[in-house]
Amino acid sequence: MNIYEAIFARKSVRNYRMEALAPQVLTDIYKFYESIRGLFSGIPTEISIIENVEGLRHMGIFGRKAPYYLAIYSAEAEKSMMNAGFIMGQMGLYLCMRGLGSCFAGMGNPPRSYRFKNGKKLVILMAFGKAKGTCTRNPQEAKRLDLQALCVIKDTPGQWVQKLLEAARMAPSSYNSQPWRFLVYGSRIHVFAKKEKRGILGKYREFDFGIMFSYIVLAAEEFWVDVDLIRLGNLSQKVFVNSQYILSVIYNK
């Protein structure tokens, strides 16, 4: 399994075997993080692996018990949550590729010693480790909306554009809300968020979009498609009744 294939195989794992991983596995996780380029340059991030094999800590908003937690820290900046999601989406896929389960555990109320690291603020925790059972599933088992419900297609897309959209569709989201909507037009996929009642993009929804964008980028790399993620001024100035413009995926095959 490669990292693109993991997009369709990964599932959230909530039950873990409280067993230690080999030191080299933990080293490899750090090395993979170092290989990732953030979605937005200039936002410093850092990760930390919190060991919990003895089961003394119940961390995250759901108190998920796991042998390890992967914490990501970020400088506070505009779009820092989306940037963190872009990184952690890839971390979750990497863990799946290595045969490890993972599940976003939120942040909850962690001990003070974990809230900051080198001037960066804790964004979210991901529980991970050896799963009780499997860490994969068939894509058909994923509870995801059909592309017809997520997309408005103005031009018939090529097969590889369909692949990008299918990858985006598989992205996990808070409470499986799947807030993204796509307008496919010409050489662009315009990405919108379904508006909440509050009319704003909530903190973890921004994180969710970062995960989804990482899936698009990984799919593009798999099919040798050049993509740029750009916020277009003409769309960002418009007011949409039921949606909020996020970014556009500009592709060139």
In DSSP notation, 120-159 reads EEEEEEEEEESBSS-SB--GGGS----HHHHEEESSPPPH
The pTM of the full predicted model, rounded to 2 decimals, is: 0.93
- DSSP reduced 3-state for 174: helix
| Percentage of residues of the chain with pLDDT beyond 90 | 75
3-129 with 143-252: one CATH topology?
yes
Burial of 248 (0-12, 13-18, 19+ CB in 10 A): buried
What is the rounded CA–CA span in Å between residue 103 and residue 121? 20
Q: Which whole number is the average pLDDT over 25-51?
A: 97
Looking at residue 59, its pLDDT comes to 62
Residue 58 reports pLDDT greater than 90? no
Q: At what angle do helices 80-97 and 203-222 cross, to 10 degrees?
A: 50
Does the structure show a pLDDT above 70 at 8? yes
Residue 107 banded pLDDT, cuts 50, 70, 90: low
Separation between Cα atoms, residue 220 and residue 250, nearest integer Å: 11
- At residue 146, the pLDDT reads 94
pLDDT for 118: 95
CA gap 94, 213 in Å, rounded: 16
Mean pLDDT of all residues in the chain?
A: 91
For the chain, what are the domain ranges? Answer: 3-129, 143-252
Task: Average the pLDDT over each of 39-43, 109-113, 192-196 and give the range with the smallest value.
Answer: 109-113
pLDDT in tens, 131-164: 999 999 999 999 999 999 999 988 777 888 999 9
Rg (CA), the chain: 18
**Can you read off the two tokens belonging to residue 237?**
């100035």
User: Mean pLDDT across the stretch 106-122?
Assistant: 83
Q: Indicate the pLDDT class of residue 109, thresholds 50, 70 and 90.
A: low
Asked if 180 and 209 touch (Cβ cutoff 8 Å), the reply is yes
Task: Inform me whether the pLDDT recorded for 54 exceeds 90.
Answer: no
65 contacts: CB under 8 Å, gap ≥ 6: 16, 18, 52, 55, 58, 127
Give the closest residue to 76 by CA, choosing from 45, 113, 108: 45
Instruction: Give pLDDT, residue 21.
Output: 98
Rounded to whole angstroms, the Cα distance separating 84 from 50 reads: 18
Tokens 């996929």 belong to: 189
d(C-alpha 86, C-alpha 154), whole Å: 27
Strand partners, 120: 117
**In this structure, what are the phi and psi dihedrals at residue 162, rounded to the nearest 5 degrees?**
-60, -40
Q: Domain 3-129 carries which CATH code?
A: 3.40.109.10
Q: How far apart are CA 72 and CA 87, in angstroms?
A: 9
- Quick: pLDDT tens for 206-249: 999 999 999 999 999 999 999 999 999 888 777 787 899 999 99
Fold for the domain defined by 143-252: NADH Oxidase (3.40.109)
pLDDT at 242: 84
Q: Cα dist. 216→34, 57, 189, 234 in Å?
A: 20, 35, 11, 23
For position 60, what pLDDT does the model report?
55
The answer, yes or no, to whether residue 46 has pLDDT greater than 80, is yes
Mean per-residue pLDDT, 120-128: 95
